[in-house]
Structure 1
Amino acid sequence: MALAPDRTVRGLLFDRDDTLVIDVPYNADPHRVVPVPGARRAVAGARAAGLALGVVTNQSVIAKGMATREQVDATNARVDELVGPFDVWCVCPHDAGDDCACRKPRPGMVLDAAGRLGLDPSELVVVGDIGADVGAALAAGAQAVLVPTPRTRQEEVDAAPTVAATIEDAVALVLDHVRAVRS
């Protein structure tokens, strides 16, 4: 599967848990942050290619009262240190039942990241591990690459417009697209 050949890509947004770092449920402890294999190289490659970089992450741990925003921010700072740096971080602090506009699969964080990066959402690709990541991208007018994990449901894989085996493969696909469009 490939990205739309007629669309310029200028930015890449990543989901945090199970995309950039190994998922520790409701993690708000910077000491428990471990990058997924290849994440640092993939992000560095995208940065070297001149892409704007961001993270869009649902963090219901805040709404559930299991962590403060400051604890989540400290955890995100550790991700930034180990895998980034990222140009923008967008965090949804709400729970699934809060009916907010930012929680993926709604487009709020993708739209916010696009605005903060000075890009049109159509110039972004969102890389994530579940259907909500893909849904947020598509709802915002961005493209999406799904990188399945053992927890990704088969129907999410089947519905994804583009699937890659690893974060490195996802970024390589995006960079191949960027090079093809530029030439």
Structure 2
Amino acid sequence: EITGVVIEIDRWIMRESCKQLKIWQERFQRPELVVSFNLSGKQFRHADLPEVIGRAVKDAGLSKGSLAVEITESVLIDSAEEATRLLSEIRELGVRTYLDDFGTGYSSLSYLQRFPIDCVKIDRSFVSRLGGRKEGREIVRAIIALAQSLGLLTVAEGVERNSHLELLRTLKCTYAQGGLFAMPLPAAEAEALLAGEPRW
């Protein structure tokens, strides 16, 4: 990261991910498939980030909404004004913006109003408590309700149990991710999973 090599690696991963997504969208006739990409603080501080993202999307032939970028609260804290500008430019490209690990920082609520965000990712530390005390469930319910009132999507992270998934459905969480569905997979295994048209 000190030498800057990680930036080039990250950009290569983004380009290849976009190309692979386009292949799957066409092969399985699933234009709604989306790939999300985590942005590090170092990446996010590069002024040419919107240009890099736009080029990756265009070269892959992706339609608007097919790519999402995820950023954490800590990245936003470093430079709020610059973050607002970059996120706005990224959204203008038709790329979704996700706030990752929501609820683990100090100013989460203000971020939802201040920054151009499309989706809130509910941290796994909250999701894991869904089956326990009532307070854990109510926190997740409150986050989802707040996001909905602001017109934002929600993603529950770290879903490992069917009981948690059913509760999230009841709470009208938009999406869920975690080991219940699949662990991180190589492209070939991910393709086999898509070919099987899994349902949960």
Q: Which TM-score bucket, shorter chain as reference?
A: 0.3 to 0.5
Higher RCO, 1 vs 2 (CA within 8 Å, ≥6 residues apart): 1
TM-score under structure 2 length normalisation: 0.36
Flag the structure with larger Rg: 2
